[in-house]
């Protein structure tokens, strides 16, 4: 990696001054795009330099990231020992989860909450806020599905269910019948109750569990950093829709480039590389109007192998002609339009050559992928369709 001294200086100042707007993103300007960027001047990721000897978890807390996320972004660093002046990778781009663009969307697979602020024309979101959160562990799974906020409580008391009291008693850590408000309350200072069977909430955390944000450790609830739950509490109202999804693989467009983002399985799930690849193919086809483009297969394989959660471009299409209308694939069915000519990207010569074939070509960062013959493409499409039929309920089917 190469960094300019000026760039690192700016990032170092950001560490000292704080990251007030670190979780707020502008919605994509192009209808149908779903990749959001925190710092438009940066690439797929950003960087910071540690100002002192610390842990990777300290850095996550400072930038309001989850522990799993920052460890996954920095696989070569020791999470418990970060020396002063170490360069640390931070997220910059994210692909919005597949689904409605209103209310709250919780993607359990990436430990992220997305809140679409209805501050645009006709209530359309202009900005989306994204917060790290913890989710239910394997034996206390957070449910999937659509629900809503039914009650808001400030400084809540916690009434531990009998099952949780028995669990704590068995571990030599008995709980009282009521835990009042305060720094040791597991619900933190705010709680948003969900219309689900059982006591499911989006809430804060106590001082003992603050470094567990972004991990699979709760009894099914969604746990946020104290400052994040306080901000979200003030922004939402009772009746706000909440969508709980599980999408380890996400696909989305940005400026005519198709990106893929992949995350590891949650505890209790077990997906093979072949299954991830088949699911990715089905999502790529869905994003490309049912057609499987000639994408960069090596790049996709790397994304699905490393599972770092970094959006990576695997394909580029020609921009629409001036008289063509860009379809909004999120909010409306895509109109049928003529397919533009194929664009072959040569990164060495930095020249674009127009081909006679009526399809576009993938971005290949290392070498051009071998052309896909008809039989191979047919097999890939069949695999993708099979994966689509058997996909997790965490994904949405059909037009949104």
Q: Which residues are catalytic?
A: 203, 221
Cβ–Cβ under 8 Å, residues 246 and 394 = yes
Token output for 174: 């008995």
- CA dihedral sign, ordered 136, 139, 144, 147: negative
Q: Sheet harboring 249-254: ordered strands across?
A: 249-254, 257-262, 312-316
Q: CA distances (Å), 286 to each of 66, 224, 318, 336, 395, in order?
A: 30, 32, 18, 15, 12
What is the residue-wise DSSP string for 183-228? TT-TTTTEEEEESSSS--EEE---TTSGGGTTSEEESSSEEE-HHH
Cβ–Cβ under 8 Å, residues 131 and 209 = no
Neighbour tally for 247: CB within 10 Å: 24
Give one word for 260, left, alpha or beta, with left for phi > 0 and alpha for psi -120 to 50.
beta
3-state secondary structure of 132: strand
Token output for 29: 């300007």
From 248, 272, 249, select the one nearest 260 (Cα to Cα). 249
CA pair distance 384, 301, nearest whole angstrom: 15
CA pair distance 317, 253, nearest whole angstrom: 10
Q: Helix-strand-coil percent breakdown of the chain, rounded to 5? A: 25, 25, 50
């Amino acid at each position: 990696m190469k960094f300019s001294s000026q760039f690192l200086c700016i990032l170092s100042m950001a560490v000292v001054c704080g990251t007030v707007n670190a979780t707020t993103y502008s919605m994509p300007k192009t209808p149908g795009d779903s990749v959001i960027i925190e710092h438009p001047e940066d690439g797929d990721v950003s960087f910071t330099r540690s100002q002192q000897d610390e842990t990777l978890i300290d850095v996550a807390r400072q930038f309001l990231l989850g522990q799993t996320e920052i460890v996954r972004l920095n696989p070569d660093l020791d999470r418990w020992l970060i020396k002063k002046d170490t360069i640390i990778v931070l997220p910059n781009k994210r692909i919005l989860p597949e689904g409605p663009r209103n209310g709250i969307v919780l993607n359990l697979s990436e430990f992220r909450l997305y809140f679409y602020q209805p501050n645009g024309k006709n209530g359309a979101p202009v900005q989306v806020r994204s917060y790290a959160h913890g989710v239910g562990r394997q034996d206390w799974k957070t449910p999937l599905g659509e629900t809503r906020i039914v009650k808001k409580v400030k400084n809540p008391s916690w009434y531990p269910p009998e099952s949780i009291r028995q669990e704590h008693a068995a571990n030599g850590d008995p709980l009282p019948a009521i835990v009042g408000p305060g720094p040791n309350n597991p619900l933190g200072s705010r709680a948003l109750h969900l219309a689900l069977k059982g006591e499911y909430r989006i809430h804060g955390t106590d001082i003992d569990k603050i470094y567990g944000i972004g991990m699979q450790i709760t009894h099914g609830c969604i746990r946020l950093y104290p400052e994040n739950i306080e901000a979200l509490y003030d922004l939402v109202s009772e009746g706000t829709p909440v969508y709980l999804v599980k999408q380890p693989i996400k696909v989305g467009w940005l400026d005519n480039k198709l990106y893929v983002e992949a995350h590891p399985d949650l505890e209790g799930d077990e997906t093979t590389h072949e299954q991830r690849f088949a699911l990715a193919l089905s999502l790529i086809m869905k994003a490309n109007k049912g057609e499987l483009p000639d994408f960069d297969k090596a790049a996709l394989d790397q994304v699905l192998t490393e599972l770092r959660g970094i959006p990576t471009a695997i394909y580029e299409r020609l921009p629409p002609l001036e008289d063509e209308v860009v379809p909004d694939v999120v909010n409306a069915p895509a109109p049928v339009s003529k397919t533009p000519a194929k664009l072959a990207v040569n990164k060495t010569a930095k020249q674009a050559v127009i081909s006679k074939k009526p399809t576009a070509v993938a971005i290949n960062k290392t070498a051009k992928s071998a052309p896909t013959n008809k039989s191979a493409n047919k097999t890939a499409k069949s695999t993708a369709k099979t994966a689509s039929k058997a996909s997790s309920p965490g994904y949405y089917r059909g037009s949104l």
